[in-house]
Amino acid sequence: MLGYFFKRVLLLIPKLLIISILIFIGLSFVPGDPIDHLIPPDQRAKLSPVQLETLRESLGLNEKLPVRYLRWISGVLKGDFGYSMVSGASIRVMIARRLPATLELAFFGLVIANILGLTLGYISSIKHNSIIDYTNTTLGIIGTSVPEFFLGLCCIAIFSLHLGWLPTGGRVAVGKETFFDRIEYLVLPVLCLAIGYIATLMRYTRGSMLDVLNKDYIKAARSKGISEFRVNCNHGLRNALIPVMIILVNRIPVLVSGAVIIENIFNYPGMGRMILDAISCSDIPVVMFSTMVIATMILVSSLLVDMLAALLDPRIRFN
C-alpha cells in the first residue's frame, strides 16, 4: 500500500506540470491588457505607441508564449513566484497575507458542515420515513437550491442591517488582532459557505446509510444480539462513510475556490477576492499562481480519498 501511495505522490509532479501548461495557455487568450489597469486612461492617451510598446516589453508581454512559460516555471521552481503586473507587489507576500484568511474560513466551514451534515444524515437514516427524516430532506433540498450569493445577501440584510447582531463584512475591527476578535466576522461567511455543503453531505450520508443498513452483514450483526446503537455505528456508519468520504475530501478545494463569492459579498480579505480582482485586471501572474494553488489542493484531495478509503475499509487492497 505504501508503494502505491508513493507512486501516486510522484505522479502529482507531471500532473501539475500539464495543468500549469493548460492554465497558462488558457490565460493567454483571456481578453484584456494589464496596461489598461496599470495606467489611467488620461495618462495613457498621452503616451505614444513607442512608449506603450516599451512598457509592454518591460513587462514581458511581447515575448512568445513558450518563453514566458519557461520563465515562469523556472521562477516557481526556484521559489520566486513573481510580481503582480498591476500593483507590483510580490505574489509570495500577497499569498502569505490572503491564504491564511481563506483557509480559516474554509476550515471552520468544513468542520461545521461535517459535524452537522454527518449527524443529520445519520439521524435521518435511522429515523427513516419519520417527521425528522422528512424535515431534514426538505431542508437539504432548500440548502442545495439556494445560491450562495443570495443567501449571503439575505444574511446581511437580516442579521447585520435589520437586527444589528453581526458586522456586514471584513475580517477584524481596526486595532484588534486576536482570534476572538474575528469570531463575529466569521459567523455569517462560515454559515453561508457551509449550508450548501451541509445539505449535500446530509443527503449522501442518509442514502449511503440506508443502503448499508439493508446489507446481509447488518442483519447478521443484529441476529447476534448486538445493540442497535453498535450495529448502526460500528457496522453501518463505518461502511457508509466510504463513499461519503469521497464527497467530503473532494469538497475541500471546492470550499477554497467557492469562497470567491462569499469573500466578495462579505468583503473578506482572502484568496477568493484576490483572484477575482486579478482576473478583472488581467493580472496573469497572480491568476496563474492562485489557480495552481487550487489545482494542487484538488490533486492532493484525490490522493486523500484513496488513503481514507483504504483506512476505512480493510477489504481494499492496492497492488
**What is the number of other CB atoms lying within 10 angstroms of the CB of residue 65?**
11
Q: What angle do CA 256, 197, 190 make, to 5 degrees?
A: 60
Contact 64, 70 (CB under 8 A): no
What pLDDT sits at residue 94?
A: 84
What pLDDT sits at residue 41?
A: 66
Concatenating the DSSP letter of every residue in 185-211 gives: HHHHHHHHHHHHHHHHHHHHHHHHHHH
What pLDDT sits at residue 40?
A: 66
What pLDDT sits at residue 32?
A: 63
**What is the number of other CB atoms lying within 10 angstroms of the CB of residue 180?**
7
Residue ranges of the domains in the chain?
A: 2-77, 98-312
| Nearest alpha carbon to residue 9 among 249, 303, 306, 253 | 303
Q: What angle do CA 33, 294, 316 make, to 5 degrees?
A: 155
Contact 72, 24 (CB under 8 A): yes
Specify the fold of 98-312.
MetI-like fold (1.10.3720)
* 229 CB-near residues (< 8 Å, 6+ apart): none
Task: Tell me which residues of the chain have a pLDDT lower than 50.
Answer: none
pTM for the whole structure? 0.73
What pLDDT sits at residue 173?
A: 72
| Nearest alpha carbon to residue 282 among 28, 46, 99 | 28
3-state secondary structure of 232: helix
| Nearest alpha carbon to residue 197 among 281, 254, 153 | 254
In 266-283, which ranges are continuous DSSP H helix?
Answer: 271-280
What pLDDT sits at residue 149?
A: 81
What pLDDT sits at residue 72?
A: 82
In the chain, which ranges are continuous DSSP H helix?
Answer: 2-28, 34-38, 41-44, 49-59, 65-77, 91-126, 131-145, 148-155, 179-213, 216-223, 228-230, 238-265, 271-280, 284-312
Find where cell 449571503 sits.
152
Angle between the 179-213 and 148-155 helix axes, to the nearest 10 degrees? 130
Give tens-digit pLDDT for 142-165.
887 888 888 888 888 888 888 888
The cell numbers describing 183, all together, are 469570531
What pLDDT sits at residue 126?
A: 82
Q: Give dist(CA 165, CA 168) in Å, integer.
A: 10
The region, left, alpha or beta by phi > 0 then psi within -120 to 50, assigned to residue 141 is alpha
